[in-house]
Amino acid sequence: MPPPNPSSPRRPDDPAPDASPERVKRLLGQEAFEKTFAGWLDRIQKTVAPAGGSGATGPWALVGVKRRGAILARRLWKELSIGSPQLLYGEVDISLYRDDYHLHASKPQVLGTEISFGVDGVSILLVDDVLFTGRTVRAAMELILDFGRPRVIQLACFVDRGHRELPIAANIVGKEIVTEREDEVRVRLAELGEVDGVEVILGGSR
Amino acid sequence: MEWTRKDLLGIEDLSREEIDYILDTAEGFREVSARSVKKVPALRGKVIVNLFFEASTRTRISFELAGARLSADVIQFAGSSSSTQKGESLNDTARNIEAMGIDIVVVRHPSSGAPYQLSKALAASVVNAGDGSHEHPTQALLDIYTMRRALGRIEGLKVAIVGDVSHSRVARSNIWGLQKLGAEVYAVGPPTLVPRGLAKLGVKVSHHLDEILPEIDVFNMLRLQTERQDQGLFPTIREYSRLFGLNRQRMRRAKPSAIVLHPGPINRGVELTPDVADGPQSLILNQVTNGLAVRMAVLYLVGSRGGSGGPW
């Protein structure tokens, strides 16, 4: 089951084009990104995959959080499905599960959730690009639970930037970085016409 | 694009981008109805009132279900069985309802412009579910959405709107929307039921369905209000059906890829013969399913607007 193509519309979470260049700090260049990804993949393979992937514990699935988390999940799936061809794949759009509708005038476009397998009894590895307040993960878990009762949900995040507002932790982190609350962290991806990398916009783009 | 409107009153004042945005949002809602738990928390804690001053079954139920699937509380108000019969004005009724803390008012009213009037009087969002012979925007959106899903595009499609175009809010909203999206619109019916002025809007007017039949990509068949016969606008239903109804013979001459739509309820044997209504080219039940996704999208867009806040 090959993953579908990346969805392309621009979302408001993309950085404002006018963020002045001196405020943009590149934390991981293309090469460092590649290394970090390889290490992340390796740990996923060693820890999560055997726990959820052996025949005794039933099927497991990668579920990416749209948009950037889903792109990373697709990359992981490509590598992991070589060893476990039964690996399931899904993508979630958490925009209908946000807890802040009443706070914002703008909202991201609804992209739709694609989970075509029954989640009952499945071990799910949730994949996102940046772990920040934990609210996205909370929303994604609530969404997945609306589809049924997975055996376990684990979390893999490429970057953990701290400042949690909910009691949520990732099982596997690609890289931990130190940021201020107001900073914005962007994982740049080739699939979106960017150069792979991680950037911090100091003080945010607003 | 970002949705900024408080209300959805009609298609006429929407931009092409806004129409596309609603249809794209509807696409994201489709899968919700296929889940085992057919509910998302997007409008949790919001209250929607269905304010219907005209009989309606499918539109009312569709809005009710759309609201329920977004986790909103939906209240029903039937204008015929209540305070309006005691002479209360529309604005007074609405203000009273709003004082109870309503977020969205879905209104159907026999008078054109009633939703507009309400939208000025209320802080709550207003969604037009059909006003007089003016507009029925969610019906047009679900029609266009059904065409786009079936044929992959709207630009360049030849769409025939067949029947009582003069009195039809469905026709009016369809014409606005389809033209904005670049379709070629044909209004087809007897001269008494198709306004001549439509040609000025770029609509092609035809009184002979058979002449244009082979070129048409979409047949949107309007419901014939049989009381129009009493007004002398057409001689007999049988004649209307013979000239403007879709039957097996006509479908044989139509494009094999052509699709048939009808806003319902169908007068079987009048606008469509049963074999066409239930045939492979009929997408009438898809329209009903798509209507749910479109109405969820509309309620979500108008209902989840809020103040300003920081980054999430």
Q: Which residues of B touch A111 (CB under 8 A)?
A: 28
User: Can you tell me the distance from the alpha carbon of A189 to that of A72, in angstroms, rounded to the nearest whole number?
Assistant: 8
User: How close A32 comes to chain B (CA, Å)?
Assistant: 27
ipTM: 0.74
Which listed residue (B46, B69, B136, B172) is catalytic? B136
Residue B28 contacts residue A94 (beta carbons within 8 Å)? no
How would residue A21 be classed by pLDDT, with cut points 50, 70 and 90? Answer: confident
Which listed residue (B5, B6, B58, B255) is catalytic? B58
Q: Extract the tokens encoding B113.
A: 């412009």
Residue A90 host element (H or E): strand A88-92
Residue B139 contacts residue B100 (beta carbons within 8 Å)? no
Residue of chain A minimizing CA distance to B21: A109
B136 tagged catalytic: yes
Would you call B242 an interface residue with chain A, using a CB distance cutoff of 8 Å? no
Name the one residue in this structure whose structure tokens are 């931990």.
Answer: A176
Which listed residue (B60, B69, B108, B262) is catalytic? B108
Angle between helices B169-180 and B137-151 (to 10 degrees): 50
Can you name the residues that pair with B282 across neighbouring β-strands? B260
How would residue B305 be classed by pLDDT, with cut points 50, 70 and 90? Answer: low
Could you list the beta-strand ranges (E) of chain B. Answer: 47-52, 73-78, 104-109, 125-131, 158-162, 184-188, 204-206, 218-221, 259-261
User: Can you tell me the distance from the alpha carbon of A131 to that of A159, in angstroms, rounded to the nearest whole number?
Assistant: 6
User: How close B2 comes to chain A (CA, Å)?
Assistant: 6
From the list B272, B268, B270, B269, the residue with the least C-alpha distance to B259 is B272
Number of A to B CB contacts under 8 A, please give it.
80
Q: Do B309 and A146 touch (CB under 8 A)?
A: no
B23, B40, B47: best to mutate for the A interface, most A CBs within 10 A: B40
Q: Do A107 and B28 touch (CB under 8 A)?
A: no
Would you call B2 an interface residue with chain A, using a CB distance cutoff of 8 Å? yes
How would residue A107 be classed by pLDDT, with cut points 50, 70 and 90? Answer: low
Task: Determine the distance from the C-alpha atom of residue A137 to the mean position of all C-alpha atoms in its chain, rounded to a whole number.
Answer: 9
pLDDT in tens, B147-160: 999 999 999 999 99
User: How close A180 comes to chain B (CA, Å)?
Assistant: 13
Q: Which residues of B touch A114 (CB under 8 A)?
A: 31
Q: Is B152 exposed, middle or buried (0-12, 13-18, 19+ CB in 10 A)?
A: exposed
| A16-20, A179-183, A202-206, B289-293: range with lowest mean pLDDT | A16-20
Q: Extract the tokens encoding A1.
A: 């089951």
A107, A166, A186: best to mutate for the B interface, most B CBs within 10 A: A107
Q: What is the pLDDT of residue A49?
A: 61
Q: Which residues of B touch A12 (CB under 8 A)?
A: 2
Task: Determine the distance from the C-alpha atom of residue A75 to the mean position of all C-alpha atoms in its chain, rounded to a whole number.
Answer: 11
Contacts 24+ apart (CB under 8 A), A18-25: A18/A205, A19/A201, A19/A205, A23/A201, A23/A202, A23/A203, A24/A199, A24/A200, A24/A201, A24/A202, A25/A199, A25/A200, A25/A201, A25/A202
Is the model's pLDDT at B113 over the cut of 50?
Answer: yes
User: Can you tell me the distance from the alpha carbon of A5 to that of A67, in angstroms, rounded to the nearest whole number?
Assistant: 11
| B8-12, B103-107, B296-300, B304-308: range with lowest mean pLDDT | B304-308
B223 tagged catalytic: no
Q: What is the pLDDT of residue B310?
A: 30
Within 10 A of A109 (CB to CB), how many other CB atoms are there?
21
pLDDT in tens, B139-193: 999 999 999 999 999 999 999 999 999 999 999 999 999 999 999 999 999 999 9
Q: Do B311 and A114 touch (CB under 8 A)?
A: no
Residue B125 contacts residue B303 (beta carbons within 8 Å)? yes
Q: What is the DSSP letter of B215?
A: G
- Average pLDDT, stretch A93-103? 80
Residue of chain B minimizing CA distance to A181: B311
Which runs of consecutive H residues, i.e. helices, occur in A5-134? 30-43, 49-53, 68-83
From the list B138, B152, B91, the residue with the least C-alpha distance to B117 is B91
User: Can you tell me the distance from the alpha carbon of B116 to that of B118, in angstroms, rounded to the nearest whole number?
Assistant: 5
Q: Do A109 and B37 touch (CB under 8 A)?
A: no
Among B25, B41, B306, beta carbon nearest to A109: B25
Which listed residue (B86, B196, B200, B252) is catalytic? B86
What does the buried/exposed string (b/e) look like for B283-311 if buried means 16 or more CB atoms within 10 Å of the residue's CB? bbebbbebbbbbbbbbbbbbbbbeeeeee
Q: What is the DSSP letter of B1?
A: -
Q: Do B37 and A98 touch (CB under 8 A)?
A: no
B86 tagged catalytic: yes
User: How close B37 comes to chain A (CA, Å)?
Assistant: 6
pLDDT in tens, A119-155: 999 999 999 999 999 999 999 999 999 999 999 999 9
Can you say whether residue A85 is alpha, beta or left, with left for phi > 0 and alpha for psi between -120 and 50 degrees? alpha
User: Can you tell me the distance from the alpha carbon of B252 to that of A152, in angstroms, rounded to the nearest whole number?
Assistant: 56
Q: What is the DSSP letter of B135?
A: B
pLDDT in tens, A148-176: 999 999 999 999 999 999 999 999 999 99
pLDDT in tens, B245-279: 999 999 999 999 999 999 999 999 999 999 999 99
From the list B99, B100, B24, the residue with the least C-alpha distance to B300 is B24
Q: Which residues of B touch A103 (CB under 8 A)?
A: 306-309
Q: Do B312 and A111 touch (CB under 8 A)?
A: no
Distances (CA, A) of A202 to A22, A178, B49, B58: 9, 12, 45, 52
Q: What are phi and psi of A26, to 5 degrees?
A: -85, 115
B252 tagged catalytic: no
Which listed residue (B59, B138, B146, B273) is catalytic? B59
User: Can you tell me the distance from the alpha carbon of B271 to that of B285, in angstroms, rounded to the nearest whole number?
Assistant: 16
- Average pLDDT, stretch B110-139? 95
Euclidean distance between the first and the last CA atom of chain B, given in angstroms as a whole number: 19
Residue A67 contacts residue A122 (beta carbons within 8 Å)? no
User: How close A47 comes to chain B (CA, Å)?
Assistant: 31
User: Can you tell me the distance from the alpha carbon of A122 to that of A141, in angstroms, rounded to the nearest whole number?
Assistant: 14
pTM of this prediction? 0.86
Within 10 A of B226 (CB to CB), how many other CB atoms are there?
11
Residue A124 contacts residue A57 (beta carbons within 8 Å)? no
Q: Which residues of B touch A136 (CB under 8 A)?
A: 312
Distances (CA, A) of B195 to A113, A160, B57, B174, B199: 44, 64, 29, 15, 9
Distances (CA, A) of A160 to A30, A39, A171, A185, A186: 18, 15, 11, 10, 12
In this structure, are strands A24-28 and A197-201 parallel, antiparallel, or unpaired? Answer: antiparallel
Residue of chain A minimizing CA distance to B301: A107
Residue A205 contacts residue A19 (beta carbons within 8 Å)? yes
B226 tagged catalytic: no
